[in-house]
Amino acid sequence: MTDLHLRTVALTDEENAEVSDLLRTLANVPVDPTAELLHRTRLAAQELPLRIRTELTGMRLYDTPRALVVTGFDIDDHRIGPTPATRPTPDPERTKDQELLLLLHAALLGEAFGWATQQNGRLVHDVLPIPGEETEQMGSSSKTELLWHTEDAFHPLRCDYVGLLCLRNHQRAATTLGWPDLSRLAPEDRATLLEPRYLIRPDTSHTPEQNAAGHQSAERFAAIAEMDDDPKRIAVLFGAPDDPYLRIDPAYMSPVPGDAAAQRAYDAIAALIEDGLQQVALDAGSLLLVDNYRAVHGRKPFAAAYDGRDRWLKRVNITRDLRRSRSARQSAVSLLV
């Protein structure tokens, strides 16, 4: 693993002022999952500082870097208020600028979208510790390590990129990032990982229990339940055999029972990821963009106090092609899968 795969860009004061001015022009834009929102943010994104546009255009076109951190965005700690202990935030207006900031950068990589079965169908998610969920394999955990994974690996319409904007991280909880050095993988293991010899199930954030009753669709959650009852066989590696993409989530996937070769190959690629895993403690005002086909991410444990000062991120899923999910969206202008 080399630093070529993880880049950090620090905003200058002038660039930060440009971004702040741009956000003021979007003051009247509601952060709702509609095509109008994408229309406005896509146009405005062309006015982001040239250096940011250059970095993200390169990330989209050349599949590199696998993760990009942009630091130095202004976060008004008083205005965003205390870190909530529930989702969604009590007053969404207080973090509207941060959600728009995330959507502006998403527009340079593709289109933002949300899940009808996750976080009440919201487009921008809150990632924060929730009482009672400390040991779950979800972003709301704290006491346990959130295992490295590709986002929503169970779903064929999962995102191409994940965007995470840090609002607060006084605990210095580390985000983990990694990708396997496939040159170290035995040829027979690589061949096995390219075959559909692994079972995967939905993660628990897509269950009715994690969504308010008024936002639940029986049909959508029935489809999730079916994926859980009858898990699909998938490959861990896919795409070009000589330079494949990655789809993996140790908490929710496993080799087909009895397939010793699949288990051996899985253990080998997991060890390679572990061997090169990096830790990045995001500060308030840091934006992390992860290529969900080329990298895994997770989080180390931390002690949540539920005192209004806990770690708090905003998250968005980004697809390069919104049309790919048309059959799973209610209309061409809907952003919910």
pLDDT digits (tens, 9 = 90+) for 307-324: 999 999 999 999 999 999
> What average pLDDT does this structure show over 207-215?
71
Quick one: pLDDT at residue 214? 55
pLDDT at 2 over 50: no
Quick one: pLDDT at residue 327? 93
Quick one: pLDDT at residue 1? 39
Q: How confident is the model at residue 209 (pLDDT cuts 50, 70, 90)?
A: confident
Helix, strand, coil percentages, rounded to 5, for the chain: 35, 20, 45
| Residue 285 dihedral angles phi and psi, to the nearest 5° | 90, 10
- Flag whether the pTM goes above 0.85: yes
pLDDT digits (tens, 9 = 90+) for 223-282: 888 888 889 999 999 999 999 999 999 999 999 999 999 999 999 999 999 999 999 999
208 belongs to a structural domain: no
pLDDT digits (tens, 9 = 90+) for 82-141: 999 887 666 778 999 999 999 999 999 999 999 988 888 889 999 999 998 889 888 888
107 belongs to a structural domain: yes
249 belongs to a structural domain: no
Q: Which domain holds residue 110?
A: 3-183+279-328
177 belongs to a structural domain: yes
Q: Could you write out the DSSP letters of every residue in 52-84?
A: HHHHHHHHHHH---SEEEEE-----HHHH-SPP
Q: Are 203 and 252 in contact (CB under 8 A)?
A: yes
215 belongs to a structural domain: no
Question: How many domains, the chain?
Answer: 1
134 belongs to a structural domain: yes
Quick one: pLDDT at residue 4? 74
Quick one: pLDDT at residue 86? 82
204 belongs to a structural domain: no
- Tell me the pLDDT of the chain averaged across its residues: 93
44 belongs to a structural domain: yes
CATH of the domain at 321: 3.60.130.10
